[in-house]
Each structure stands twice: as structure tokens, then as C-alpha cells.
């Protein structure tokens, strides 16, 4: 079994050998929403116990990977901001691209600032 992430869902895909075409064939058994990745009973019945364990292991690994990425992003954010500052300083005649990047940064900075303020991390 393998797992495909598609937009807001993860597809559970079972590979089965098809003797007619002499190769494996992918069969989507079902999908689970990424925001609430719990196997519904109907989908759980379609899976073998080994496939259910495989899904739980994949989910645990994905959750841990996401947490590590978030921690790394937080720990390196100040360094990344310093790098971005140097990049913006070099963008003399390239104002159009710099403006697009700055707009994206501001949209990302405002929710981060709000969270920092809510947790008492800003004055």
C-alpha cells in the first residue's frame, strides 16, 4: 500500500498484480481528509489489518515529520529573515519582483505576528 497526497486528502492506494497486462495496477481503496486523518469504518472494512497498521505508521511518521519541519522553520526563521534582508538590499532595479515577494511576506507575517502576540511573545 502507498499513500498519495492530493490537495486536502490522502488516497490509500493498493497495488495488485494484473496477469493480463503483466504488471502491477494501482487501485485507490479510499481517501481520508488530511485535516482529520481518521479511517472511517467503511474504509477500515476494506483494508486488511496489515494495511490499517501501515496507514497508522504512515500517519505517525507524517505527523512527526510535520512537527520537525515546523520546529526547524521556527529555529531558523531569524537567520532566514537576515538572508532575505540581504536579498532585498540587492534588488535595486528589480523592484517588481521584490514587491511581489514583499507582498507575500506581509501576508505571512501578519498571522505569525498575531500568534506571537496571543501567546505573549510580543510586547
> One digit per residue, pLDDT tens: the chain, 123 residues?
999 999 899 999 999 888 888 888 899 999 999 888 999 999 999 999 999 999 999 999 998 999 999 999 999 999 999 999 999 999 988 889 999 999 999 999 999 999 999 999 987
The Cα 14–Cα 46 span in angstroms is 11
- Give the predicted TM-score (pTM) of the model: 0.68
The Cα 4–Cα 13 span in angstroms is 7
Sign for the CA dihedral angle at 64, 70, 74, 76 comes to: positive
Q: Provide the residue ranges of all domains of the chain, joining segments of one domain with +.
A: 2-65, 91-118
Amino acid at each position: 500500500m502507498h499513500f498519495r497526497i492530493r490537495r486536502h486528502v490522502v488516497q490509500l492506494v493498493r497495488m495488485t498484480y494484473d496477469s493480463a497486462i503483466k504488471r502491477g495496477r494501482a487501485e485507490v481503496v479510499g481517501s481520508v481528509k488530511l485535516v482529520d486523518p481518521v479511517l472511517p469504518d467503511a474504509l477500515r472494512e476494506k483494508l486488511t489489518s496489515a494495511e490499517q497498521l501501515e496507514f497508522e505508521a504512515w500517519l505517525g511518521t507524517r505527523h512527526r515529520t510535520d512537527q520537525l519541519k515546523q520546529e526547524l522553520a521556527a529555529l531558523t526563521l531569524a537567520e532566514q529573515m537576515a538572508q532575505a534582508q540581504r536579498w532585498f538590499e540587492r534588488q535595486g532595479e528589480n523592484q517588481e519582483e521584490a514587491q511581489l515577494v514583499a507582498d507575500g511576506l506581509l501576508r505571512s507575517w501578519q498571522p505569525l505576528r498575531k500568534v506571537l502576540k496571543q501567546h505573549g511573545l510580543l510586547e
